Amino acid sequence: MGKILGAYLMPHPPVIIPDVGKGQEQKIEKTIKALNKMGEDIAEKKPHTIILISPHGALFKDAISIMGISTLKGDLSRFGAKNVKIEKENNLDFVKELDGEAWEQGVPTVLLDEERIRDYKLNTDLDHGAVVPLYFVEKVYKPYQLVHINYGMIPREEQYHFGKIIAESLAFTSNDAVVIASGDLSHKLTPDAPAGYHPSGQQFDKTIMKLIQEGDVEGFFSLEDSIVTEAGECGLSSIDIMLGAFDGWRISTDVLSYEGPFGVGYGTAIIQPVEKDQNRLFLDCLKKKSDEKILLIREREDPLVRLARRALEAYVNEQITIDLPSYTQEDLKIKKAGVFVSIKKDGQLRGCIGTTQPVENNIGKEIIRNSIHSGTQDPRFYPVDRDELEQLVYSVDVLGEPEEIFSKEELDVKKYGVIVEKGFRKGLLLPNLEGVETIEDQLNIALKKANITKDEKYKMYRFKVERHK
């Protein structure tokens, strides 16, 4: 019966490899020392299989992807180090068992075999999220099969559930394994960081490393969505899956290092299973808390938000467009305005469509129209299906009249939305959005939406919104 021997949080900055860093790697010596130690720890355990979770391969919005081809290989040629390469045999027997068990338990996965890779036009090379951690393993240990997983943009509780399924599927085999959670922490630690600076970055990293040290699974799932978004991380879902692999186990944790000299947080840790513990069966508890959170949101729902939710639910469930309920407040039946309806799932955008000028006879009908369009016609997402409805969180923005402005100094990202216009090209961004901290951020996103370059002359308008949650 196969089991998990241990798990490792490993960052993946290519600069840490001498052929890439060319001396810059000396600035992260603590991380290098920790990664070497983890490589040695894996070599001592002699696992048959390494299960690696990465954020940088085939990322799906609605499923976890599992590589299903016989040979897994990749290098760091895009970083100028083509000689740094990995080539390993995939553990296909385990992969098929894992994929089947995940679907059996209701966790969506995509098995990327040759046919699907062709259909999706995917690159099969291992990403740097895999190559960099495995570089430190390969120094001291080579006789292992590899399983490569990319987390999906699905609820965090489902990522955790998938981790538990990894452990359960492994028990059906004779293969012992270790899990590597590949991921960097905040990318916004300093003003010169790759993603810019946000004060939540340092707060996020400090909290994550403390939670790992304490083995506090419930604490991970109590993180505020806004802090996670503002931190600009890429490792949290990898950690969620890793922790799920130890559901029902008491664990010991050893945080080896943390540093962030390039404005990106690099944390390292080893997690070891100690013994089974019924008090650490967290999956049902996490799902219950998630349901309770949604229920509380529903109880506190603004009337406009309730209208948006019921409109989409009726359309998805019954293929009907509802009329305005008789109890709708009078001004929604009389006034006209542009309206945006935003839909989120597990803190991630699931759809957002609106109108800058009204196209319906009143605000109420505008909300109904745009809620249905947000859930079914946003080109960035698949249409919402019935199984998702209970997990969705809505907000409604009622737009004030736009006024033309002639300088970006007249903008305020918290107070005003912005419209940019050049001929028939137009881009709009709402105010007070997570991750949009400066006027430059706001303008750049609006211009990109409109396909307008910064060098072109364009008109600007600002507007206020009345936000309902």
Residue 460 pLDDT exceeds 90: yes
Contact 73, 85 (CB under 8 A): yes
Contact 377, 397 (CB under 8 A): no
Which residues, in sequence order, are CB contacts of 401 under 8 Å at separation 6+?
463
State both tokens at 52.
């690696």
pLDDT in tens, 273-292: 999 999 999 999 998 988 89
Contact 422, 452 (CB under 8 A): yes
pTM for this structure?
0.85
- How far CA 338 is from CA of 342, 368, 370, in Å, comes to 13, 12, 10
Residue 435 pLDDT exceeds 80: no
Contact 420, 399 (CB under 8 A): no
Pairing type for strands 177-182 and 49-54 reads: parallel
Amino acid identity for residue 214 in this structure: E
Q: In this prediction, what percent of the chain has a pLDDT beyond 70? A: 100
Contact 65, 57 (CB under 8 A): yes
pLDDT of residue 211: 97
Mean pLDDT of 307-320: 97
Closest by CA position to 35, among listed 125, 163, 189, 138: 138
First and final C-alpha spacing in the chain:
50
∠ CA(269), CA(273), CA(278), 5° rounding?
125
3-state secondary structure of 176: coil
Q: In this prediction, what percent of the chain has a pLDDT beyond 90? A: 88
Mean pLDDT of 224-249: 94
State both tokens at 287.
């799902």
Residue 37 pLDDT exceeds 80: yes
Q: Which residues on adjacent β-strands are paired with residue 393?
A: 344
Helices (H), 352-393: 363-376
Sorting pLDDT into bands at 50, 70 and 90, what band is 326? confident
Residue 2 pLDDT exceeds 80: yes
Sorting pLDDT into bands at 50, 70 and 90, what band is 172? very high
Mean pLDDT of 332-341: 94
pLDDT of residue 114: 94
State both tokens at 388.
């998702």
Mean pLDDT of 99-126: 95
Contact 266, 185 (CB under 8 A): yes
Sorting pLDDT into bands at 50, 70 and 90, what band is 191? very high
User: C-alpha 362: how far from its chain's center?
Assistant: 36
| Alpha-carbon span 91 to 72, nearest angstrom | 10
Sheet architecture: strand order including 145-150? 109-112, 64-67, 145-150, 49-54, 177-182, 4-10, 266-276, 249-259
| Alpha-carbon span 172 to 103, nearest angstrom | 16
Which residues, in sequence order, are CB contacts of 228 under 8 Å at separation 6+?
204, 236, 347
Closest by CA position to 145, among listed 89, 95, 94: 89
Amino acid identity for residue 419 in this structure: I
- How far CA 401 is from CA of 208, 274, 329, 459, in Å, comes to 43, 62, 21, 16
Amino acid identity for residue 394 in this structure: Y
| Alpha-carbon span 102 to 449, nearest angstrom | 37
